[in-house]
Structure 1
Amino acid sequence: MKLLFPLLALIGGIAVAIQSQVNGNLGRNVGVIEASFISFLIGTLALFFAVLFFGNGNLMAMASVPKWQLIGGLMGAIYVIILVFSVPKIGVAATLAGIIAGQMIMGAVIDHFGLFGGERFPVDAKKLVAILLLFVSLYLFNQK
C-alpha cells in the first residue's frame, strides 16, 4: 500500500507526457485554443460517464462550497493551453521540466503556508536545494 500512491503519481506523469505530445500535435492541426477545448471536452465526457456509472458523491454540493474551490478547472485549462502552445516549440521534456519546476515551487509555497486549507509542511534547507536543482535542470533542458 505504501507504494500505491507513488506508483499512481508515476502513471499520472506518464499520462501527462503522452497528453502533452498528443495535444501539441492536435494544436498544430486545429489551433491552440481549439485543441485545448477539444481536450477538455473529451475529458469532460469521460468524467461524465465515470460519474454516471461510478460516482457516489454529491454534485449539487458544489453550490455550497467556497467559490475558490471551483477554480481547479480554470487552472487545468491554463495548463492545457500552455502544453499545447509550448510542446511543439520546445518539446515534451523541456515543457514538462518547466511545468514540474513550477509545480514544485508552488507546491512548496502552498505546503509551507498551508494555503487553500492544506496542512503545513515547512520548507527546510533540503527542499530549498531541491528547488534550486530544479532551476538547474530547467536551464540544462533548454540549452542548445
Structure 2
Amino acid sequence: MLTYLFLSLASGAIGVLSWLINLSLARRIGALQGSFINHVVGSAAAALLFLAVPAALHPFTELSALPWWTLTGGLIGVLVVMSLNHLLPRTALLASSLLLFLGQWIGGLLLDYYCAFPLPWPRILGGLLIACGLLLNQYITLRAKASAISR
C-alpha cells in the first residue's frame, strides 16, 4: 500500500514538473506546437520502451479486437496538454493543480456513479471541502489584487 501511495505522490509531483516544462516550450513556440513536440518526444520514448520489452509485442496483435473508444487516450492527452498550455500562464500553479484535481474528482465521481460503484458521502464531502478551499483562496487573491490596484 505504501508503494502505491509513493507512486501516486511521485506521479503527481512529476506531472506538475511536466506542466512547467510544457509551458516553457509553449511560451517559446506556441501552445499547439508545444503540444505536438511534447507528444512526438513522448511517442518516441514509448516506442523505444515498447521495442526494449519483448513481452510488449504479444498484446499488440489483439489491437483490432479492442473497442474503438479504448484508442482515444492519446487524443484526450493532446487535449489536456493543449488546455494546460493555455491555462498555466493565466493562473497560479497551485490553483491550476487544484482545479485539475477538482475536475478529476468530479469526473471520477461521475464515472463511479455510472459504473454502479457506491459514492460514499465522506468522499463527496472531501471534494466539496477542497472546492470551497479553492474558491476561498481565489476570493482572497482577487481581493488582494483589487486592494493593491486601488492604492
> Aligned pair count?
138
Q: Any idea what SS the aligned residue of 1:121 has?
A: coil
Distance of 1:20 and 1:7 partners within structure 2:
20
Match of 1:99 in 2: 100
* TM-score normalised by structure 1 residue count: 0.88
Distance of 1:140 and 1:25 partners within structure 2:
29
Deviation at 1:30, TM superposition (A): 0.4
Deviation at 1:141, TM superposition (A): 4.2
Deviation at 1:55, TM superposition (A): 4.9
Q: Deviations over 1:15-46 (max 9, x none)?
A: 11101111111111000011111111111111
Match of 2:146 in 1: none
Deviation at 1:87, TM superposition (A): 1.0
From 118, 121, 125, give the equivalent of 1:122: 118
In terms of fraction of residues, the more helix-rich structure is: 2
Alignment of 1:55-94 (within 5 A): 55-57=54-56, 58-94=59-95
Distance of 1:13 and 1:97 partners within structure 2:
12
Q: Does 1:53 align with 2:49?
A: no
Q: Does 1:14 align with 2:10?
A: no
Matched-pair contact (CA < 8 Å) for 1:97–1:137: no
Q: Any idea what SS the aligned residue of 2:25 has?
A: helix
Distance of 2:137 and 2:70 partners within structure 1:
34
Distance of 1:38 and 1:107 partners within structure 2:
29
Q: Which has the larger radius of gyration?
A: 2
Distance of 2:100 and 2:54 partners within structure 1:
30
Q: Any idea what SS the aligned residue of 1:56 has?
A: helix
Match of 1:135 in 2: 131
Q: 1:36 to 1:137 in 2, by over 3 A?
A: farther
Unaligned residue ranges in structure 2 (runs of 5+): 142-151
Q: Does 1:112 align with 2:108?
A: no
Please tell me the root mean square deviation across aligned C-alpha atoms, in Å: 1.5
* TM-score normalised by structure 2 residue count: 0.84
Matched-pair contact (CA < 8 Å) for 1:93–1:141: no
Q: Deviations over 1:60-113 (max 9, x none)?
A: 322210001111111111111111111111132111111110001111111222
Distance of 1:55 and 1:100 partners within structure 2:
35
Q: Any idea what SS the aligned residue of 2:119 has?
A: coil
